[in-house]
Chains A and B, each alone.
Chain A
């Protein structure tokens, strides 16, 4: 388990990091928590010539409620969300997901930015960010641009972050009314990637009618998937068993899982259906 040889820089400002990216070009890779990148390098699936470690870059590790947004710095670690009481109160979904990402060692190092920038549909944070309608902040030498989560994932290991850019933050709108959210994934054993995972966020009016719904699916499509038909089924409706059942059915129909060691396509569709149903119920409970 020895990676190919590489050069290493640890710039101390964002500007320096961006300049390095520009100078070295496509042979450079950002190193955040390293818990996706380094395993790939050890297996020699990835052989970047230059790693730019951004852990010394200040100001990227925040987790703050600011105005009507929850703001998460790209270098905030999974454990920072897991440990934040405030985050847990408004977004218990982050406590759900953190506990399902590997083990404490991985969560102490793995960053939220890296979890998204890796562009892997098997990672868990993407589905959560889809459910919560996150905005991703991407910084280049020309400045900062913001990309909606639906425009972020391009394909297998490919995202909106260009070669000369760095993902710097994630902004999540905090609703004012009644809302609830939840995540669960089915896994073969602890630390495994999802056989299928479902993130649900619902907002309700005073009568209990659903005004907004976000549903994201993990590892059942080449990219993290929004279950749009399921969301539509919920919005404008009272979330009774029949509505939830049909939303769950849509999610299982609209995902595109492939058969592998985790299970057959059919089995995965079933997992998505069951988890969608269960997570809507759980989000609903939390919205009370």
Chain B
């Protein structure tokens, strides 16, 4: 990382912002791995056991976690990574379904609230209150009710993911829809624009950066919701189940748990990455629109 800072005035500044960002992310990951291994090395050579015992059960080597992915789950079974990838698809399905439904509900609420102060005053307290109830308390209820009305298990889990998704989207949509300059709204008024024209031509485009910020938060939240939702649902096929099983067997095969955690993180990163790609497509940023040359000139002038 210090390397990156030092180069900032030199070659670093010449890289495109995207490359710079990717390099920073890689730097962070490498730093974390390095910190993990260094801790292990120093603590075990000095015989320290606090705060965490640096043995191979509690803190396996990073490469051992990765190697574990390519071992069979059980004797004669599939490779762990294959098993986890199949589980990822199940969990992703729940998360994506919940994300889409929750996102739409959140957007709808944002639009409703910006249109009607009355609706905002009437429902906003409930929207906020909904998030004060811990998800762990909600999940079993949703599963029970979902079962009662004949919802497939995975859909019940999706409902939980939606529950975590809609809130940030609703709040940010509302903020974004309120973000246009008052003069812009007055211009719309002077064109005698009807409310839907104001919404789609001014407010929604202005809100897109806000909405995507929320969607990125929600993408992770939807995965968390799906993982947590799988537990009370007794859903056997997803990553949540694998996390539970392996954590119960932590003492004997901690590497499997860590490997699963890595896959969970990868799934989260993948999902957020997809949302980020969509953002690049739908939210034209100045940086990406600017001709490359000007950007370089500015970057080197600004230092």
Q: Do A and B bind each other?
A: no
Give the interface of B toward A (CB within 8 A). none
The chain A residues found within 8 Å of chain B, CB to CB, are: none
